[in-house]
Structure 1
Amino acid sequence: MRRFVYCKVVLTTSLVWVLVDVFLLLYFSECNKCDERKDRSLLPALRDFLRAKLEDYVRTLEVPVKILRMEQRSGLIRARLRGAAITTGQVITFLDAHCECTVGWLEPLLAHIREDRRAVVCPIIDVISDETFEYMAGSDMTYGGFNWKLNFRWYPVPQREMDRRKGDRTLPVRTPTMAGGLFSIDKTYFEEIGSYDPGMDIWGGENLEMSFRIWQCGGSLEIITCSHVGHVFRKATPYSFPGGTGQVINKNNRRLAEVWMDEFKDFFYIISPGVMRVDYGDVSSRKALRETLKCKPFSWYLENIYPDSQIPRRYFSLGEIRNVETNQCVDNMGRKENEKVGFFNCHGMGGNQVFSYTADKEIRTDDLCLDVSRLNGPVKMLKCHHMKGNQMFEYDAEYVGKWEYDFEKHTFLHIITQSCLTISRLEDGTYGPTVEYCNNSPLQAWILHNYTRLEVARHLYFSPTDYIL
């Protein structure tokens, strides 16, 4: 174990918490087995505490605390903007209200910002049970990413990042995205890079928007492994979103996609076509901010910051894979990892029928790749791991999981089995995608919808139509 001693005088920071009846929510969490009606009878008393008595309480604290009340419910994003505006510290530290800080959590964050004012830093987030309040240490071997639907996800820290740190787990982890609830940022830098997008509502998507902006505009986003803060993770959001959760989050995600993701926003729109109906407002000021800051393209972000992204940087097609004989499409059927991929009538609505044939010769939908282990075996969806050959460990490491598409015969050749993707009877008697010896059958011919042709070495060509190559 290595022990670090930080300077007593580092930087000053102002902490910003946003809460809406948070004590009440935690109370309900602790008393979740109690009768709901009895719990509700205590609401007035608890709400009274959040008014005058709360102000009396914070006056007893050793550090000055300001309580700023919004005129109406405004959501986390706008409330944080309001709180940030009145901070006086050199650094702003944003925390969710349902957190518990450990001893020595702050000094490592401030010390790193002192070294680099453009570094935005996050603690390791420990888990506090929303039922028992049991405290469980978080892992320093995960970092932030996202999927095609722009949902934040935790993924294992890749080997390339371990190599960069030379195996020293006390060094900061460069993370492509942050969860967004807990981080510290130099106040002047926060203002320089555009703070939060004020056009976003409540919360959702703001963490990815800020993550992309930080990296693309010259900053860095890092997890400081010597800093730990506990966080109560709730199983469900205990309050409503005006207009509905989907409406709010889809609007926010559209804003970040339109401003920061360039042509790669197609992955989001095609797998979630319903978002196209959501009005995302005016983003001209955010695009102007990107121009002013001379930010890099999203392709640079994928190439240099997040090469392990679920969004492939180079791909041949994005859309439907339609069988010539049956006129049906490969469909994930809403199934999960390690389950069979299916086929269904083509509906043209994206979603479950969106697959990308990548320059790495994978057929993938989000973070799952089509994988098959033997002739006539079921085609399953396994995690895409970006490492050649180990999706199916019992096979040759150079070729496992790789497919080739014949642009004249319109067939997918599974290289390791030297067989073709087809529709046939499976071992369990059902019909579905499998691989059989290639025989020029129309059952083995496939049309790539919204085909995007890529010359991997130098050029990228687009076609707006369906065609067989």
Structure 2
Amino acid sequence: MNFIRRRRSALIKLAVTLCTFWLFLAFTISYRSSGLVGQSEKAWLNEAPPSPMTELEQKKKVDHMQQQMIEPKPTHSSSLPARIKQSHVVTFNLKKQQIQKMRKKPPLGGESMQKNVIDVPQSLLHIEAVDIYSYSPDMPGENGTAVVIKKEDLPPKERALYDVGWQKNAFNQYVSDRISIHRKLPKIPDASCYKKQYSDNLPKTSVIICFHNEAWSVLLRTVHSVLSRSPANLLQEIILVDDFSDAEHLKNQLDVYMDRLGIVKIVRLPKREGLIRARLSGAAVAIGPVLTFLDSHCECLEGWLPPLLSRIKENWSNVVCPVIDVIDDDTFKYHCGKSWMTNVGGFDWNLQFNWHPIPERVRKSRGDPTAPVQSPTMAGGLFSIDKQYFEHLGTYDPGFDIWGGENLELSFKVWMCGGKLEIVPCSHVGHIFRKRSPYKWRPGVNVVKRNTVRLAEVWLDDYKNYYYERINFNLGDFGDVSDRIALRQRLNCSSFEWYIKNIYPELFVPGNSIAKGEIRCMGQNKRHCLDFASGRKEHNKPISMYPCHGEGGNQYWMLSPTGEIRRDESCVDYAGQKVFLSGCHGLKGNQEWKYNFKDKTLTHVISGLCLEMNHDATGVIMASCDSQNLNQQWTFGEVVRQR
């Protein structure tokens, strides 16, 4: 018994000794490892920006440091190719206190990052150019929600950054920089879209994104939304075309970042070319059978790509556009529209693109509200087209300069030369719509006018005169269009009259007007004309008076046979208070006027009141009719016929 007790005691002592030894060994290894990581991290954070002479060494160091980093889980990562998953944006494995400190002051994109305004080492940002903030479902802007930041609540330095972001980009960069570049977005609201089946053999596409001095966070969010929400087998490549940007964050920093993704090409233009030639440069190097053009401030919803490619697989001459959702330029809220809200493209006789509801004749014939819908024109920023068909149509007019009119030229060309233009309700892409352009061009050249005159000369036939009336037949130098006319003849394209009758019969044709041109008031020395700012955004604002300039534009009006005073699809309206411009509804009512060709008065039929210029010649009022009052007498630039 004593022997057994002694043996048991010895075994217990041995076990205790072994446990103590292993605990000591583990503690020692852990301590040394912790010290090594700390030293390495400290050296990394204090390191200067890399020299171009040691780029290979820096890349090796980046690869080594990635072993100490963790990869965030991008939304819908299952759709990413294996090579992209391995090189996706990584998150630096910081201590909890550091992460909390940084989240109080989120990353500022582009040039702000270079100034190191947050407590993040400039060397890390420069070498890696990564988003070092972990993706989290509680981050601002998730699921497309609005991010509201009141400028007055910010400290002075932050307010300055807030203002600079708006000034440089014409959208709220300060808000964008606080939203994850991998943020989740709402699902397409139409459940039937998820039930649709697509071929397993859809063509691949090259996605072409042109940019000039785009904000860092917005550009990256665009690229990653394409990567994470496009099936890997359908995405051939992403081509970024840099239209001569001078922002530092779009130079080496962008090269290093995109090189890690393995599927992104960057094309650098040696001088400022504009959207049209930038897109042509991207198309020239694309290897995918389908070209998909996107703007550099977009976000794609899940499932956006297969519906587009499916239509092109059915017919190579189908040119297809997604539904363009609105991303608020201030709060970055994503507004996702349902299929019944889908609009189609049109244009007015200023040759400006506009949106309007699906015509009733088309709506009645559609059984499935999520089925592709034919559109007379496209906005032009977001669409897919078979590359060979694009080349067959002559691509864009090479005589077009910078931007403007290219969307209508391609729209007319597609329809008139045997193709079809569609909007696909099950494909959604969000777009930041800016209220102004942040870019500057050389002064003294009206490139939009030059482009649209070329467009009219080639494609509008005799209908071009309706546009020329708006610019007082001042065509300017629009270059040689003989090669484009020859292209139209070679493609055996239909007439523009065919296009109006078969594709866009809803378009109001000015030739039906009984009077048109400026509407000049006989009062105050006949110097003032009815005037209104262009664009549907100005609807429901009062009509104004302005000195007559004889240039058409804002002072060009048409009196229709049904008594409408029209600006293409907009009509002068009076509902008892102010005289304003509204969308034409064709129901007469508040939009019906009667012009007396003898006493030159304009009478509002329902109210019985007459249109009168106010005393200071800045606007109009409605008053009891007095044919002797010169402020109630009006003349049109041209009377076509009296009724």
Structure 1 length normalisation: TM-score? 0.76
Superposition deviation, residue 211 in structure 1: 1.4
Contact 2:209–2:296 (8 Å) recurs in 1: yes
Q: Percent identity?
A: 43
Higher helix residue share = 2
Asked if residue 227 in structure 1 is aligned to residue 430 in structure 2, the reply is no
Output the CA distance in 1 between the equivalents of 2:553 and 2:603: 25
Query: What residue in structure 1 maps to residue 274 of structure 2?
Result: 75
Q: Deviations over 1:190-233 (max 9, x none)?
A: 12222111111222221122112222323221110111123333
Seen in structure 2, the aligned counterparts of structure 1 residues 333 and 125 have a Cα distance that, compared at 3 Å, is closer
- Superposed counterparts of 1:387-426, under 5 Å: 387-389=586-588, 392=590, 401-405=591-595, 412=602, 414-416=604-606, 419=608, 421=610, 423=612
Seen in structure 2, the aligned counterparts of structure 1 residues 98 and 343 have a Cα distance that, compared at 3 Å, is closer
Superposition deviation, residue 43 in structure 1: 4.9
Contact 2:219–2:297 (8 Å) recurs in 1: no
3-state secondary structure, aligned to 1:92: strand
Query: What residue in structure 2 maps to residue 48 of structure 1?
Result: 252
Seen in structure 2, the aligned counterparts of structure 1 residues 414 and 91 have a Cα distance that, compared at 3 Å, is same
Contact 2:373–2:422 (8 Å) recurs in 1: yes
Superposition deviation, residue 143 in structure 1: 2.2
Contact 2:519–2:557 (8 Å) recurs in 1: yes
Contact 1:148–1:268 (8 Å) recurs in 2: yes
Seen in structure 2, the aligned counterparts of structure 1 residues 443 and 313 have a Cα distance that, compared at 3 Å, is same
Contact 1:315–1:452 (8 Å) recurs in 2: yes
Paired AA for residue 400 in structure 2: M
Query: What residue in structure 2 maps to residue 368 of structure 1?
Result: 570
- Superposed counterparts of 1:238-253, under 5 Å: 238-243=438-443, 247-253=446-452
Contact 1:25–1:238 (8 Å) recurs in 2: no
Output the CA distance in 2 between the equivalents of 1:95 and 1:27: 11
Superposition deviation, residue 278 in structure 1: 4.3
Higher mean displacement: 352-361 or 405-414: 405-414
- Superposed counterparts of 1:55-454, under 5 Å: 56-59=259-262, 61=263, 65-130=264-329, 133-138=332-337, 140=339, 141=341, 142-166=343-367, 168-243=368-443, 247-273=446-472, 276=474, 278-309=476-507, 312=510, 314-323=512-521, 327=526, 330-332=529-531, 334=533, 336-343=538-545, 346-373=548-575, 380-389=579-588, 392=590, 401-405=591-595, 412=602, 414-416=604-606, 419=608, 421=610, 423=612, 432=620, 434=622, 436=624, 446-453=634-641
Seen in structure 2, the aligned counterparts of structure 1 residues 238 and 50 have a Cα distance that, compared at 3 Å, is farther
Paired AA for residue 279 in structure 1: D
Seen in structure 2, the aligned counterparts of structure 1 residues 164 and 128 have a Cα distance that, compared at 3 Å, is same
Q: Deviations over 1:110-130 (max 9, x none)?
A: 111222322210011233345
Superposition deviation, residue 405 in structure 1: 4.5
Contact 1:414–1:435 (8 Å) recurs in 2: no
Output the CA distance in 2 between the equivalents of 1:13 and 1:117: 13
Superposition deviation, residue 108 in structure 1: 0.7
- Unaligned runs of 5+ residues in structure 2 are 1-190, 222-245
Output the CA distance in 2 between the equivalents of 1:306 and 1:368: 17
Output the CA distance in 2 between the equivalents of 1:450 and 1:171: 45
Contact 2:213–2:247 (8 Å) recurs in 1: no
Query: What residue in structure 1 maps to residue 212 of structure 2?
Result: 20
Superposition deviation, residue 319 in structure 1: 0.7
Contact 2:218–2:296 (8 Å) recurs in 1: no
Output the CA distance in 2 between the equivalents of 1:234 and 1:345: 30
Query: What residue in structure 2 maps to residue 5 of structure 1?
Result: 197
Q: Deviations over 1:143-171 (max 9, x none)?
A: 222344333333333333322314x2111
Paired AA for residue 85 in structure 1: A
- Unaligned runs of 5+ residues in structure 1 are 30-41, 393-400, 455-468
Seen in structure 2, the aligned counterparts of structure 1 residues 365 and 48 have a Cα distance that, compared at 3 Å, is same
Seen in structure 2, the aligned counterparts of structure 1 residues 340 and 43 have a Cα distance that, compared at 3 Å, is closer
3-state secondary structure, aligned to 1:97: coil
Paired AA for residue 15 in structure 1: V
Query: What residue in structure 2 maps to residue 466 of structure 1?
Result: none
3-state secondary structure, aligned to 1:250: helix
Q: Deviations over 1:204-263 (max 9, x none)?
A: 22112211222232322111011112333344433322346x622222222223322344
Higher strand residue share = 1
Output the CA distance in 1 between the equivalents of 2:360 and 2:271: 47
Output the CA distance in 1 between the equivalents of 2:329 and 2:544: 38
Superposition deviation, residue 283 in structure 1: 1.8
Output the CA distance in 1 between the equivalents of 2:598 and 2:437: 52
Seen in structure 2, the aligned counterparts of structure 1 residues 338 and 93 have a Cα distance that, compared at 3 Å, is closer
Superposition deviation, residue 270 in structure 1: 4.0
Paired AA for residue 276 in structure 1: N
3-state secondary structure, aligned to 1:320: strand
Higher mean displacement: 441-450 or 247-256: 441-450
Query: What residue in structure 1 maps to residue 56 of structure 2?
Result: none
Contact 1:146–1:310 (8 Å) recurs in 2: no
3-state secondary structure, aligned to 2:638: coil
Query: What residue in structure 1 maps to residue 135 of structure 2?
Result: none
Output the CA distance in 2 between the equivalents of 1:76 and 1:333: 29
Paired AA for residue 370 in structure 2: T
Q: Deviations over 1:421-462 (max 9, x none)?
A: 454779x999846465686988766543233349xxxxxxxx
Output the CA distance in 1 between the equivalents of 2:554 and 2:295: 34
Structure number with larger C-alpha Rg: 2
3-state secondary structure, aligned to 2:639: coil
Contact 2:545–2:618 (8 Å) recurs in 1: no
Contact 1:317–1:453 (8 Å) recurs in 2: yes
Paired AA for residue 639 in structure 2: Y
Output the CA distance in 1 between the equivalents of 2:327 and 2:541: 32
Query: What residue in structure 2 maps to residue 32 of structure 1?
Result: none
Q: Deviations over 1:1-25 (max 9, x none)?
A: 3211211112232322223343547
Output the CA distance in 1 between the equivalents of 2:323 and 2:428: 5
Output the CA distance in 1 between the equivalents of 2:600 and 2:433: 48
Output the CA distance in 2 between the equivalents of 1:343 and 1:164: 44
CA RMSD of aligned residues (A): 3.8
Seen in structure 2, the aligned counterparts of structure 1 residues 284 and 171 have a Cα distance that, compared at 3 Å, is same
Seen in structure 2, the aligned counterparts of structure 1 residues 128 and 412 have a Cα distance that, compared at 3 Å, is closer
Structure 2 length normalisation: TM-score? 0.57
Paired AA for residue 426 in structure 2: C
Output the CA distance in 2 between the equivalents of 1:328 and 1:161: 46
